Amino acid sequence: MNQATRLLLSGDEAVALAALTAGVRLGTGYPGTPSTEILEYLDQIGGRAQWAPNEKVALEVGLGSAFAGARTLVTMKHVGLNVAADVLFTAAYTDVPGGLVIVSADDPGMASSQNEQDNRHYARAAGVPMLEPADSQEAYDMTLAAFDLAERWQIPVLLRLTTRICHSKTVVATRSPAPPPAEPHFVRDIPARVMIPAYAKPAHRRLRDKLTAIAAWNEEQGPNRVYPGDRSLGIIASGVSVAHAREAAPQASLLALGLTYPLPLQRIAAFAASVERCLVIEEGDPVLVNELRAAGIAVEGKAEMYRFGELTVPRVRRVLAGDESPEPVPPRGKPPELCPGCSHRPVFEILSRLGCIVSGDIGCYTLGVLPPFQAMDTCVCMGAAIGVGLGLRHVLPEAEARRVVSVIGDSTFVHSGLTGLAEMVYNPPSTGHLVLILDNGTTAMTGRQEHPGTGRTLNHEPTGKIDFAALARAMGIPRVHEVDPMADDAAFAELISSLLAGNELALVVARRPCVLAAPHIRLYEQAAAETHANRCAAAPTE
Amino acid sequence: MNKVTNVVIAGLGGQGVVTFSDMLAMAAFNAGHDVKQSELHGMSQRGGSVSSDVRFGPTVLSPMVPAGEADYLVVLESTQVEVNRGLLKPDGCLLTPELIPEGALRNKKSLNVAMLGALSAVLEIPEPVWLDAVHAKLAAKLHKVNDQAFALGREAGAALSRPTPSAED
């Protein structure tokens, strides 16, 4: 291994680099901590990467690309896979000739998420293979392995990362690029890709056969490894838990699983039989321990208290010792807050003053729930602001119903708000409703990514742009206003009050660029204007 | 012998905690160590508490410094000392911004690099390796002011005492 091929990379960067090395033709996804940097880095190192409006569309685009025979990477955070699940479950039945690798970046401990769901369940529910790297080197190696697996069995592969894998930098030894894959070409295969019942019934059986074959391969050749140690204690682990367990119990024998679905059950049974006591160390739900026990393998799991939050070396030591005493609570740091000068501040001041019931959504503006505003009453998932707001309006007594406002960010609106507007026009509450789009011109929370409402692509070049006001009018919303929330406080408050008093459907686009994004946006606009001017100058005159 | 050096860097969003961490990890990597660096993005960007772990040595396993095992705790904002003190081992070395003489920095934004300079005085990584790592993370026009900050910190750090190596190694 020579020094030139060793790099210090985050797990996200390692996945992008491996994808490029594997000849990936397209990377697509929706920004979401901790997955966002994968596509940004892929773009930076010369790959083709683009943001989709949401994860479902990203996976559909990725599936099409892979149906054409191109190696394709689709990235999202764990909750994004809920949005893309409709695609995933049936894509699993199809034959996908180009390697399709889907990154699910889970967030145990909820560093920046609304839940800590464990997406290992998705591999089992949809019936797709899952790889779980333990550090950046494995993220790199397993991304390469994922493309090979996906192509060999023509099946989408889930690469499950967690926050500590995505955002930890560790040393990676890189490999030379693979020979370039064949040019994309569409080969018609109707029974393999048109999932009507007549074709889906045999396809379901084919899927289970593929999984049986992959399990057999995993027994002999899967990316699983034994760290030999003392016979008295054996540990089975995957992902970052491998690193924690090796540090917490350096003397133990350890079986590190890389391809965690379908499991190499014979190999695991042999390992368990070779040690006196066998313990499963896993973050999140008891997925592995339950599956091993169901297969008749005698293993111990962790106490229920360790289901919650991330594992750490000290927590693994406690699990090993069977310690269920209360854990020390670390002191709380300073909570985040809306930036000084943030355009969301006046909006939440007004909503707070008017005593609104605020149906909120996911983004920076969710911080409107914290003091001094405390102006948010619900926040569940992307786009829920509109549907939840409508539900509240439908059943609350009139005086309360009139106080309900749906607040949604620009990127979140494009992600999942359009169907909410359709519902609003189709089933309008008797008191009408008010939707506020807080348009700060960027996906701010995840680090200022572009989206279809900004009119710029992932690498900040001009492209088509969705006009929210025109869209709302076209969908049949009678009262549509565009305002700068910082221009005139009193006028803005008066507008909100009057819309709440009326019985009409209303949508207000409160538009002002994010203070952090504004200087960057100015540069992108300047660059676009210069390119345009140069093109005009170069154009032949008549 | 597998002595891992554990460093935790803490501060508030916008203070350059992650930049510090990147520079330290890069310097340790270029000095030939195995390195793991870990931090949490996301909500921390909005002015809240931020911390980052850097571990280096012959072989590093977990990317996170176990609570109570940090050899060095570097804090960029005084209010964050108590929140993070529990991460430090009993005879660990605490570096606070008071190390840097009041008004000595030409640009207050260079505090993170000055603190890196202070830490560099007690770690066995050659000075040119540190400066390369600082330069690699910053635009060329910022090199001069940060070189000055690093030198200032390195001088201040010379008086720090090193923690004793862990017994388990």
Angstrom distance (rounded) from CA A523 to CA A460? 10
The position carrying tokens 């990235």 is: A75
Angstrom distance (rounded) from CA B39 to CA B21? 9
Can you give the pTM of this predicted structure?
A: 0.96
Question: Which pLDDT does position B167 carry in this prediction?
Answer: 47
Cα diameter, chain A: 87
Q: Where are the alpha helices (DSSP H) in A287-343?
A: 287-294, 313-321
Q: Is B156 helix (H, G, I), strand (E, B) or coil?
A: helix
**Strands (E) located in A288-432:** 357-359, 404-409
**Least CB–CB distance from A167: residue in B39, B51, B86:** B39
pLDDT over 60 at B169, yes or no: no
**Least CB–CB distance from A243: residue in B47, B62, B67:** B62
Tell whether omega for the bond before B58 is within 30 degrees of 0, i.e. cis: no
pLDDT over 70 at B111, yes or no: yes
Question: Which pLDDT does position A24 carry in this prediction?
Answer: 97
Question: Which pLDDT does position A128 carry in this prediction?
Answer: 98
Mean pLDDT of B110-135: 97
Angstrom distance (rounded) from CA A258 to CA A445? 32
Task: List B residues 54-93 in contact with A (Cβ-Cβ < 8 A).
Answer: 60-64, 66-68, 79-80, 82-83, 86
- Neighbouring CB atoms inside 10 A of B53's CB total 24
Cβ of B62 and A244 within 8 Å?
yes
Question: Which pLDDT does position B130 carry in this prediction?
Answer: 98
Question: Which pLDDT does position A210 carry in this prediction?
Answer: 98
Residues of chain A with CATH 3.40.50.920: 225-321
Tell me, what DSSP letter sits at residue B102? Answer: T
DSSP of A27-72: EEE---TTTTHHHHHHHHTT--EEE-SSHHHHHHHHHHHHHTT--E
**Strands (E) located in A390-502:** 404-409, 433-439, 479-483
Question: Which pLDDT does position B165 carry in this prediction?
Answer: 67
Q: Across-strand partners of A9?
A: A170
**Strands (E) located in B19-119:** 34-39, 49-57, 70-75, 88-95
Q: Which residue of A has its CA nearest to B64?
A: A312
Confidence band, pLDDT 50/70/90 cuts, at residue B44:
low
pLDDT over 60 at B81, yes or no: yes
Residues of chain A with CATH 3.40.50.970: 6-221, 344-517
Instruction: List the domains of chain B with CATH numbers.
Output: 3-158 (3.40.920.10)
The position carrying tokens 């293993």 is: A299
Question: Which pLDDT does position B163 carry in this prediction?
Answer: 83
Question: Mind telling me how many Å the CA of B40 is from chain A's nearest CA?
Answer: 7
Asked if A145 and A131 count as a contact pair (C-beta separation under 8 A), the reply is yes
Question: Mind telling me how many Å the CA of B48 is from chain A's nearest CA?
Answer: 4
CATH code, A225-321: 3.40.50.920
Question: Which pLDDT does position B166 carry in this prediction?
Answer: 59
Provide the CATH topology of domain A344-517.
Rossmann fold (3.40.50)
Q: Which residue of B has its CA nearest to A7?
A: B29
Question: Which pLDDT does position A180 carry in this prediction?
Answer: 75
The position carrying tokens 């927590």 is: A315
Confidence band, pLDDT 50/70/90 cuts, at residue B42:
low
**Least CB–CB distance from A168: residue in B22, B36, B82:** B36
| Superfamily (CATH H level) for A6-221 | Thiamin diphosphate (ThDP)-binding fold, Pyr/PP domains (3.40.50.970)
Asked if A184 and A98 count as a contact pair (C-beta separation under 8 A), the reply is yes
Q: What is the mean pLDDT of chain B?
A: 92
Question: Mind telling me how many Å the CA of A517 is from chain B's nearest CA?
Answer: 13
Angstrom distance (rounded) from CA A74 to CA B8? 34
Q: Is A433 helix (H, G, I), strand (E, B) or coil?
A: strand
Percent of chain B topping pLDDT 70? 93
Q: Is A313 helix (H, G, I), strand (E, B) or coil?
A: helix
**Least CB–CB distance from A333: residue in B61, B62, B80:** B80
Tell whether omega for the bond before A478 is within 30 degrees of 0, i.e. cis: no
Spans in chain A with pLDDT lower than 70 = 1-4, 540-542
The answer to whether residue A114 neighbours chain B at the CB level (below 8 Å) is no
| Residue of A8, A36, A362, A442 to mutate for B, most B C-beta atoms under 10 A | A8
What does the pLDDT look like over A233-276, one tens digit per residue? 999 999 999 999 999 999 999 999 999 999 999 999 999 999 99
* HEC assignment per residue over A168-187: CEEEEECCCCCCCCCCCCCC
What does the pLDDT look like over A357-406, one tens digit per residue? 999 999 999 999 998 999 999 999 999 999 999 999 999 999 999 999 99
**Least CB–CB distance from B62: residue in A112, A313, A332:** A313
Residues of A in contact with B36 (CB under 8 A): 135, 168-170
Question: Mind telling me how many Å the CA of A3 is from chain B's nearest CA?
Answer: 9
Asked if A163 and A40 count as a contact pair (C-beta separation under 8 A), the reply is no
